[in-house]
Amino acid sequence: MISTNDFRTGLTINIDGDVYQVIDFQHVKPGKGAAFVRCKIKNLRTGATIERTFNAGEKLPRAHVERRSAQYLYNDENNHYFMDMETFEQISLSKEELGEAVKYIKENMTINVLMFQGSSIGIDLPNFVELEVKETTPGIKGDTASGGSKPAVLETGYTVQVPFFINVGDILQIDTRTGQYLKRA
């Protein structure tokens, strides 16, 4: 059990049999009445984010989520398959379980698979990934002065806005938290 006074970003808790990760929290002490903790939590099974308020000092069961290093192998219509790097067994996750992470994973990429009570519930992506530009309009000399952007399709099929000087074949660094272009790698 963990007290709501001990909340910190990234902590995993168990609420009604589901696993939640604390994204943001705030301790509030009003002038009148009891203190409380307002927090934003993310369901690791569904990816849904909700806001919830708890009384200060309330005890909640802590969820022990194991992170296993795995390599992304391939996908079919419904599932994406990963290989556990220690046991070499295959782990399958549906598109719904992966959520937005589908945009950033490519074959042979090493990531962490989140395991709770012996079953996989999702993946933990690195903050930044490097992906190759597969399709974009060519940059025209003199266009870079305006500071605009153009769409570029990456090797995973994800479309991101990039500066005009980016060309097909460039390797880009993408922030997986915001989905935005950062720089050329």
pLDDT tens digits along 65-119: 888 899 999 888 888 899 988 888 888 888 877 777 888 888 888 988 888 887 7
Q: Where is the domain boundary, 75, 92, 124? A: 124
What is the span of the domain harbouring residue 85?
66-124
- What's the CATH code of the domain at 70? 2.40.50.140
Contacts of 7 (CB under 8 A, 6+ apart): 22, 25, 37, 39
Distance between CA atoms of residues 27 and 36, nearest Å: 6
Query: Same domain for 120 and 134?
Result: no
Query: Same domain for 30 and 79?
Result: no
Q: What is the pTM of this model?
A: 0.69
Query: Same domain for 118 and 135?
Result: no
Domain count, the chain: 3
Q: Where is the domain boundary, 22, 45, 60? A: 60
Per-residue CA distances from 69 to 66, 84, 99, 128 (Å): 10, 6, 19, 17
